[in-house]
Amino acid sequence: MKNILITGGAGFIGSHVVRLFVNKYPDYHIVNLDLLTYAGNLANLKDIESKPNYTFVRADICDYAEMQRIMKEYKIDGVIHLAAESHVDRSIVDPFTFARTNVMGTLSLLQAAKTYWESTPEGFEGKLFYHISTDEVYGALELTDPEGIESPFTTTASSSQHHLAFGRDFFLETTKYNPHSPYSAAKASSDHFVRAYHDTYGMPTLVTNCSNNYGPYQFPEKLIPLFINNIRKRKPLPVYGKGENVRDWLFVEDHARAIDLIFHKGKVAETYNIGGFNEWKNIDLIRVVIKTVDKLLGNPEGYSDELITYVTDRKGHDMRYAIDSRKLQRELGWEPSLQFEEGIEKTVKWYLDNQDWIDNITSGDYEKYYEQMYSNR
Ligand code: NAD
Ligand code: DAU
């Protein structure tokens, strides 16, 4: 494969995938297609923007004619589809935008890939439509006695506050979809369309479902960058509910490496779960973030604990996500590269060293959104 279309490449995960592919595969032409919504930012890709194997195209995935034109103009062989509306809180106040982008946008891209590939002499041969999805489509797990699966990874976190598992159940590739938020409902619907294109038309597709990512270039509406920024600015840290919900965290570069591996070695029509067996209760994770920021800012230990502010819970807040990624390890040999504490330290350091990046994107419209979103909490 030579011409690869990466959608949502100016966003958080997409920018890491674009960077990895542009640097690792000089023989590939990487076309980054992004609408540059509030979440997309070309500053995320400054280091690679002038590479000869990289092209940026600003376009809306919902614009079917434009998707057809781009597939044809760049003779696209492979699609890695990340473009989406991605923030659960926004989906609760504006579900239509999520249905439009995540469902109709994915459908428009699928149909454009299908019609273009069918028009080429080799048809679907050597082509791949790889759709990036989330663990949230599986629904929520309970907090029960932790007698779960042992992590197969040596890089699993080892903090004293951290429990490996908060329940017996894990999301498997075979777990029935049961989305609860408008965001996850829209992602689930897009996953179904992708699989339907394989089952109906024989189009080569693949889906992966990943757990929560963290790392550089994440928009500061998501928990970790929001809290790092708020600690720096001495603003309250809004903990939803009792802070007892559990998320399974993976360093974003490990997700990008998994995407690279699966894109090249994954089996068509398969689903792979991606996650590092790294579950954290929100409040425990928040304390690690506070401790790390205080340490790097030279504050005394415990200095920013007073910023913790318990607020009204998120509507329909899923209790626990936990990914079983042993299929990916077993079949393709992937494993995460970092211990969690190492990843968090790297991440906090990046945000503190790149304050201009965060200040630029949190000015203007975002400030208004943030005030409105949190004024009632
Ligand atoms: P993000 O919000 O940071 O980036 C999304 C990107 O998509 C932005 O650059 C935005 O401009 C672009 N975009 C939005 N609407 C578009 C449209 N109509 N046309 C073209 N581009 C558009 O999201 P992210 O956190 O990087 O997530 C990327 C993908 O990975 C999403 O599909 C998300 O569902 C999935 N995912 C995210 C996580 C996570 O923890 N962040 C975990 C698992 C899966
Ligand atoms: O699991 C994968 C998903 O992870 C991705 O599909 C989504 O795109 C991504 O946004 C993320 O969803 P979450 O809702 O889990 O992430 P978020 O960072 O918004 O919240 C993490 C947890 O922290 C969640 O339990 C809600 C809580 N939270 C979040 C924010 C923003 C707070 O307590 N306070 C906050 O201010």
* 8 alpha carbon, closest ligand: 1
Average pLDDT estimate for 196-218: 98
Please provide the average confidence, as pLDDT, over all residues in the chain: 93
Task: List pocket residues of ligand 2, CB cut-off 6 Å.
Answer: 86-88, 134-136, 211-212, 222-223, 226, 238-240, 245, 247, 282, 314, 321
Per-residue pLDDT of 56-84, as tens digits, reads 999 999 999 999 999 999 999 999 999 99
pLDDT of residue 161: 45
Give the count of beta carbons closer than 10 Å to the beta carbon of residue 212.
22
pTM, whole model, 2 decimals? Answer: 0.96
The answer to which of 107-111, 155-159, 240-244, 371-375 has the lowest mean pLDDT is 155-159
- Residues of the chain above pLDDT 70, percent: 93
Task: Give residue 168's pLDDT.
Answer: 86
98-154 pLDDT, tens digit per residue, is 999 999 999 999 999 999 999 999 999 999 999 999 999 999 999 988 777 878 887
Cα 106 from Cα 188, distance rounded (Å): 11
125 is catalytic: no
- Judged against a pLDDT cut of 70, whether residue 305 lies above it is answered with yes
Whose CA is closest to atom 44 on ligand 1? 134
Domain edges within the chain = 1-139+177-210
pLDDT at residue 339 in the model: 84
DSSP-assigned beta bridge partners for residue 78: 4, 128
For residue 369, name the pLDDT band (cuts at 50, 70, 90). low
Nearest by Cα to 214 from 242, 169, 247: 247
Give me the mean pLDDT over the 243-263 stretch.
Answer: 97
Predicted pLDDT at 147: 77
What's 1-139+177-210's CATH class?
Answer: alpha beta
Share of the chain above pLDDT 90, in %: 86
Would you state the pLDDT for residue 160? Answer: 43
Q: How far is the CA of 40 from the centre of ligand 1 (A)?
A: 8
Interior CA angle at 275 toward 249 and 336, to 5°?
90
- Segment 17-37 shows an average pLDDT of 97
Residue 171 has what pLDDT?
A: 97
Distance CA 128, CA 126 (A): 7
Q: Token pair 């928990």 is at which residue?
A: 223
